[in-house]
Amino acid sequence: MKKWLPRSSTTLNERINRTLDKQVKLAVTGLSRSGKTVFITSLVHQLLHGLQATRLPFFKMVNNGRLRGTKVMPQPDMHIPAFRYDLAIEQLCGEPPAWPQPTNGISEIRLAIRYLSNNPLLKHFSSIGTLYVDIIDYPGEWLLDLPLLELSYEQWSAQITQLCKIEPRLSLSEEWRAFISQVDLNTEADSAILRQASELYTDFLHQCKSPKYGLSLLQPGRFTMPGDDLKNAPLLEFCPLLNIPEDMKDDGKSFYSQMKKRYESYKERVIKPFYKEHFASFDRQIVLADVLKTFQTSYASFVDMRNAINMVLESFQYGKSGLINKLFGLNIDKILFAATKADHITPDQLPNLENFLQNMLATSHNNVIFEGVHTETLALAAVKCTQAAYTIFEGKRISCIKGMPVVGDKPIALFPGQIPTDILMPEQWVKERFHFIDFKPPRLANIHGSGLPHIRLDRALEFLLGDKF
Ligand SMILES: Nc1nc2c(ncn2[C@@H]2O[C@H](COP(=O)(O)OP(=O)(O)O)[C@@H](O)[C@H]2O)c(=O)[nH]1
Ligand SMILES: [Mg+2]
């Protein structure tokens, strides 16, 4: 574990002032593979190496020389699994460097950041304060359960019925739809049939999620991301039903009644406890989205990601009147939306990606501002794997990026495409328009000397923590 690093400039009258101690809980979410583990690992690495920082010009507290050291501390919540920074950094800094193992649940890490206060009331004695930062990583899939709290089983079923009328869901849901359409909703429920229906529905969700289709709006969230505690749990054996008649009787025994009952118990026993236990204590929320992946996948994939994020945020309504606030109480005062893996585009395209993200979030973004929550959108790369380069094409100088592809051992240079600043029409969304490939993490000679190379992580740090020092 890292030791406190005293600065040579530390003067004798610098005193540790316990009254300056503060705490902040940062919740990091995003769908699987959006970059949560890499983001948290790089953020922790930047802070642990903050004293040697050469890569954090926009993080003012560090840039002004007020940082006195950062340390990983035992986490406060014993019941939450630890975020394994040690394992992730070992892989990222290995020889050869590799991406950390995928994770599939909630985890937490606590940092203590010591800093020289610039409180004007204390200017005659330089006081050292400590900011305890708890970072919580949780699957964005679970956030997609939030809107269900406001929906009856019939309303939710009707929403899914609507979604399944449009491709690619129309084809992907065929087997599940065929199965449930031949079940009589009024007959007494048979547990094998209930299970089979939920299995077919879960298979359908997994297909929607596969890289080929890249869909995001997948409910219930635990069906594709159960977490360790709910794998194969009977609590997950239900699914929506198509075309439920309006006068459907709930006799407590029928196939329909059982499905409805299980849906309600999923809300009570899975969704609510998660939000009660965790959400009420979050101070700040970071939502990561791999927007570039949807560019490359399809228009349907993009629309689905936009709908998923907006749906969650609408029901989230971080402010006073929001559902979540009414149910659980909520203290979040800042939200950062970040498009991750921005090292896949040339540096001159970063503002375009940020504008695009802003346009994508326009509706919910406005609501959230209205509710008095401070929001920011950023395009960032937690670990920058590419270098900006130039190539000459038909006599013209074209900017491109250069990096080591995940498959192969020769660096390649490519032009990833021009990022639109606003939403494209469906017909403009052609595959050949963009060219993104997966890169290996960079090999670095001085990995323990300074923070990992990144894009705009210092701006994220300033937004999330800057006002706390
Ligand atoms: N080029 C690049 N790739 C990244 C970056 N962050 C994540 N990735 C890629 O995205 C994958 C998923 O990231 P991870 O943090 O595990 O996602 P999580 O499931 O949200 O925790 C990684 O294995 C990398 O291939 C980044 O900053 N730059
Ligand atoms: Mg992860």
411 & 337 share domain: no
Please tell me the number of the ligand nearest to residue 38's CA: 1
Cα of 395 vs centre of ligand 1, distance in Å, is: 36
Q: Is residue 98 part of a domain?
A: yes
302 & 449 share domain: yes
* CA atoms of 451 and 47, how far apart (whole Å): 8
* CA atoms of 374 and 380, how far apart (whole Å): 19
Cα of 98 vs centre of ligand 1, distance in Å, is: 11
**Which residue ranges have their beta carbon within 6 Å of ligand 1?**
30, 32-38, 99-100, 102-103, 340-341, 343-344, 381-383, 385, 438-439
Please tell me the number of the ligand nearest to residue 81's CA: 2
Cα of 39 vs centre of ligand 1, distance in Å, is: 8
Q: Is residue 214 part of a domain?
A: yes
Q: Is residue 5 part of a domain?
A: no
Q: Is residue 337 part of a domain?
A: yes
* CA atoms of 176 and 202, how far apart (whole Å): 9
Write the DSSP string, 369-416: HHTT-EEEEEE-BSS--EEEEEEEETTEEEEEEEE-BSSSSS-EEE--
Q: Is residue 41 part of a domain?
A: yes
36 & 162 share domain: no
* CA atoms of 423 and 290, how far apart (whole Å): 16
338 & 400 share domain: no
CB 341 within 8 A of CB 290: yes
Which of 41, 43, 87, 99 to mutate to test ligand 1, by most ligand atoms within 8 A of the CB atom?
99
Instruction: Give the pLDDT confidence score for residue 145 in this predicted structure.
Output: 92
Pick the atom of ligand 1 nearest to 30's CA. 20
Which one of 229, 253, 270 terminates a domain?
Answer: 270
Q: What is the CATH number of the domain that holds 131?
A: 3.40.50.300
Phi-psi region for residue 9, left (φ > 0), alpha (ψ -120 to 50) or beta?
A: alpha
pTM given for the model:
0.92
Which one of 242, 270, 298 terminates a domain?
Answer: 270
38 & 133 share domain: yes
Instruction: Give the pLDDT confidence score for residue 70 in this predicted structure.
Output: 96
310 & 452 share domain: yes
What tokens appear for 32 in the block? 């699987």
295 & 330 share domain: yes
| Residue nearest (by alpha carbon) to ligand 1 atom 12 | 33
Cα of 282 vs centre of ligand 1, distance in Å, is: 24
Q: Is residue 7 part of a domain?
A: no
211 & 286 share domain: no
Which one of 270, 299, 329 terminates a domain?
Answer: 270
Going by C-alpha positions, the residue among 102, 111, 103, 112 that lies closest to residue 135 is 111
What tokens appear for 221 in the block? 């969230």
- Interhelix angle 255-266/153-163, rounded to 10 degrees, is 100
Q: Is residue 3 part of a domain?
A: no
Instruction: Give the pLDDT confidence score for residue 138 in this predicted structure.
Output: 94
| Number of domains within the chain | 3
Pick the atom of ligand 1 nearest to 288's CA. 20
Q: At CA 270, angle to CA 267 and CA 274, rounded to 5?
A: 110
* CA atoms of 165 and 162, how far apart (whole Å): 5
- DSSP E strand stretches across 199-245: none
Q: Is residue 165 part of a domain?
A: yes
* CA atoms of 371 and 170, how far apart (whole Å): 37
Phi-psi region for residue 144, left (φ > 0), alpha (ψ -120 to 50) or beta?
A: alpha
The domain containing residue 127 runs over which residues? 15-142+278-384+444-468
CB 429 within 8 A of CB 298: yes
Instruction: Give the pLDDT confidence score for residue 5 in this predicted structure.
Output: 44
293 & 414 share domain: no
259 & 285 share domain: no
182 & 227 share domain: yes
Tokens 């406890």 appear where?
Answer: 273
Per-residue pLDDT of the chain (469 residues; tens, 9 = 90+): 444 544 444 445 566 666 777 899 999 999 989 999 999 999 999 999 988 867 899 999 999 999 999 999 998 888 899 999 999 999 998 888 999 998 889 999 999 999 998 776 666 666 889 999 999 999 999 989 988 998 999 999 999 999 999 999 999 999 999 999 999 999 998 999 999 999 999 999 999 999 999 999 999 999 999 877 777 777 889 999 998 998 889 999 999 999 999 999 999 999 999 888 888 789 999 999 999 999 889 999 999 999 998 887 776 664 556 666 677 777 788 989 999 999 999 999 999 999 999 888 876 656 656 566 788 999 999 999 999 998 887 888 888 999 999 988 899 998 888 898 888 888 888 777 888 889 999 988 767 777 899 999 999 999 999 999 9
191 & 152 share domain: yes
